[in-house]
Structure 1
Amino acid sequence: MAAKHWSKMQERGNRLGMQILLFSYRILGRKGLWIILFPVVFYLFLTGKTARRASYAFLTQVRKVNGNDKVVTWRDSFRHFRCFADSAFDKIDAWLARIPQSNISYTNEALFIELDEHAQGAIFIGSHLGNLEVCRALSQHRSSKVINVLVFTHHAVEFNKLLKSINPDVAINLIQVTDLGPDMAIMLKDKVEQGEIVVIVGDRTSTTTAGRVIEADFLEKPAPFSQGPFILAALLDCPVFHLFCLKDKTADGKVFYRVIFEKYADKLVLPRKTRQQTLHKIVSDYAQRLSYYAAAYPYQWFNFYDFWQNDEHVSRDQNKEN
């Protein structure tokens, strides 16, 4: 049986469940809700064969890269699942403005300030490492820039709508896309020219078409990366940044968030004669930065499928989890 594409994995959750989560969180707080949520997360761990297998494989590869020969156990994988569940609370905290500025560390913040001061648009290429939702909300404390977030699943749209209902003043536009076609590119270019930000993830392959990928080394193994986000970045003709938001701890155990801006280029140019070579270099550079942070923060890797699978061998017409 062909492997399943990430976009066709059954989304385990619905809007009602999200609303119950939010209501319970407001009543019980983080620690109180975890008492109730723990058995739910454990059930999802036990029954999520595909996600559990992917977690084992990813953590094993990270340890290999980091020179750690310790065998990954079910406890390590369950910790991975718990971190994913806990990230939902981080999102809610951010949108409720419960994260104080003292708990936020900005790397290269001057780059973002410069964009703001010059009313310049840009594209931020993020990932499913860490918590981009936290980064989106936190940025509103520092800037009035409109942020346009491209999302690729219905579940992501619903969860973000729920978050926005918590704080409707946050200037976030959610744009659900299935394909990055010409019409979408024209609309986004208009937004960038008005000084707005476009956020897209670079670590998910096309939801509709197989093979539109560039293979690049990720944690010392070739993995498929979609060409779409990087071609879009070139079409928008604007500054390009890599963006990460990672949860960390100080030496004394205090939790804080690292919001990392890394400027990649003033604009991306894909010359006709060397288009594929140039595109491969751009994607490889992104994969290298993603590898660097994934190796440092492995439990914040929230791609629970075989990330190294051959994209052309992946089925896009299945609807239930194996």
Structure 2
Amino acid sequence: MTGRKWTSKSLASSFFHQIFYVAIRLGGRWAAYFMLLFVVGFYALHPGVRGRSAEYRRRIVGNRGFLANLWFCYRHYLEFGKMLADRAVLGILGKFRMATGAEDTELLRDLLAEEQKGLIIVTGHAGCWQLGTAGLKDIDAPKAVVLYRDTRDVDRQYYEHRNNGQAPFRIIDPTGPMGGAVEMMEALKQGSILCFMGDRNFGDGSSGVKVDFLGGKIEVPVGAYRLASIMGTPVVVTFSRRTGPGKGEIWVSGAIQVPHGLGRNAEAYRPYAQIFADSLEEYVRSYPLQFYNFYDMWENEG
């Protein structure tokens, strides 16, 4: 395998990130984009960094030769870099527009009002997911995000550039006591929108299941569906995409109906995890340059 296990450790040092942030303060979004042309070129040419997404490229576009694969890799990493630049611009300059359809907003409001048990949103590391809560600003409900943060990740979230670094939503660490389950249940009891990432498993094997994705098997977490079964909370799948400089859109892809009382066995939740994986594959087929799991997700398939 040419890939490697996922890590959120930043590729660049804190010093180089600071240079990037200064460029944004002085020259705005386009200064950041200009720097990315060269930085991304270096990373795309680096065999170790390029190899992180090699298995994904093989599955999404096949083996089209070195130059064609290198060009796809460059565009893929550049798109990711622009998303990170947009995130920093939002934090530093307060500029980013996230569009949400009126029907989707109304659907989320209705689910919150009808069930009164909170709402679980499941998404993936795709599009402009790190800015996704901006698309929920018109929904009057507390928000909570299940967020893992590696201590070696020095790239700032957008809210860390202002407001004393305080997030505009509650952060729940999935590696905390009991996987943060108590905090998650509290959030739902308070009527919160609770956001999960559905395409990476941070726990041990008991917290995930194997599902079909892009012609192979990957392991995904089932915590969101297990919590929905316990609490009777509706689950909605959403995705976002970057549509241009400083612009994105977020939409509801579908809903997942999880029955009550399925228990703790992860295998009971495989059908619901597969619904998410199918939705994610449909997204990836449509926007192949906006999927950002830079590791071999299929390494232990079987």
TM bucket normalised to smaller: 0.7 to 0.9
Find the residue that maps to 2:238 and give its secondary structure. strand
Deviation per residue, 1:57-116 (Å, 9 max, x gap): 21231236xxxx855420111111111111112223445542346xx2426222123246
Structure 1 Cα separation of the partners of residues 220 and 134 of structure 2: 27
Deviation per residue, 1:125-183 (Å, 9 max, x gap): 1111112122112322x13422211122326975455534335686212233325726x
Structure 1: runs of 5 or more not aligned? 313-322
Structure 1 Cα separation of the partners of residues 257 and 273 of structure 2: 16
- The verdict on how the C-alpha distance between 1:80 and 1:279 changes in structure 2, with shifts beyond 3 A counting, is same
Deviation per residue, 1:245-269 (Å, 9 max, x gap): 11236xxxx9852211244246543
Find the residue that maps to 2:139 and give its secondary structure. coil
Give the corresponding residue for 2:238: 243
Matched, 1:260 2:251: yes
Structure 2 Cα separation of the partners of residues 128 and 5 of structure 1: 16
Give the corresponding residue for 1:128: 125
Task: Note if contact 2:10-2:155 (Cα within 8 Å) is conserved in structure 1.
Answer: no
Structure 1 Cα separation of the partners of residues 64 and 82 of structure 2: 25
Task: Note if contact 2:209-2:222 (Cα within 8 Å) is conserved in structure 1.
Answer: yes
Give the corresponding residue for 2:60: 62
Find the residue that maps to 1:6 and give its secondary structure. coil
Task: Note if contact 1:185-1:235 (Cα within 8 Å) is conserved in structure 2.
Answer: no
Structure 1 Cα separation of the partners of residues 301 and 88 of structure 2: 34
Give the corresponding residue for 1:230: 225
Find the residue that maps to 2:212 and give its secondary structure. strand
Task: Note if contact 1:52-1:77 (Cα within 8 Å) is conserved in structure 2.
Answer: yes
Structure 2 residue corresponding to 1:75, chosen from 49, 71, 75:
71
Task: Note if contact 1:179-1:206 (Cα within 8 Å) is conserved in structure 2.
Answer: no
When the two chains are superposed, the root-mean-square deviation of aligned CA atoms in Å is: 3.4
Aligned residues: 296
Deviation per residue, 1:253-291 (Å, 9 max, x gap): x9852211244246543535x966641111111110000
- Quick one: which amino acid aligns to residue 29 of structure 2? R
Give the corresponding residue for 2:198: 202
Give the corresponding residue for 2:50: 52
Task: Note if contact 2:198-2:220 (Cα within 8 Å) is conserved in structure 1.
Answer: yes
Within-5 A mapping of 1:14-29? 14-29=13-28
- Quick one: which amino acid aligns to residue 5 of structure 2? H
Structure 2 Cα separation of the partners of residues 233 and 159 of structure 1: 32
Find the residue that maps to 1:13 and give its secondary structure. coil
Task: Note if contact 1:125-1:242 (Cα within 8 Å) is conserved in structure 2.
Answer: yes
Structure 2: runs of 5 or more not aligned? none
Task: Note if contact 1:206-1:226 (Cα within 8 Å) is conserved in structure 2.
Answer: yes
Q: Which moved more, 1:14-23 or 1:35-44?
A: 14-23
Bigger relative contact order, structure 1 or 2 (CA pairs below 8 A, ≥6 apart)? 1
- Quick one: which amino acid aligns to residue 122 of structure 1? L
Give the corresponding residue for 1:177: 174
Give the corresponding residue for 1:216: 211
Task: Please report the TM-score for the alignment, with normalisation by the length of structure 2.
Answer: 0.82
Task: Note if contact 2:28-2:89 (Cα within 8 Å) is conserved in structure 1.
Answer: no
Cα offset, 1:204, TM superposition: 0.7
Structure 2 Cα separation of the partners of residues 255 and 19 of structure 1: 20
Give the corresponding residue for 1:283: 273
Task: Note if contact 2:188-2:194 (Cα within 8 Å) is conserved in structure 1.
Answer: yes
Within-5 A mapping of 1:161-176? 161=157, 163-166=159-162, 171-176=168-173
Find the residue that maps to 2:11 and give its secondary structure. coil
- The verdict on how the C-alpha distance between 1:200 and 1:276 changes in structure 2, with shifts beyond 3 A counting, is closer
Task: Note if contact 2:4-2:52 (Cα within 8 Å) is conserved in structure 1.
Answer: no
Task: Note if contact 2:118-2:193 (Cα within 8 Å) is conserved in structure 1.
Answer: yes
Matched, 1:306 2:301: no
Structure 1 Cα separation of the partners of residues 14 and 228 of structure 2: 32
- The verdict on how the C-alpha distance between 1:32 and 1:240 changes in structure 2, with shifts beyond 3 A counting, is same
Cα offset, 1:48, TM superposition: 5.4
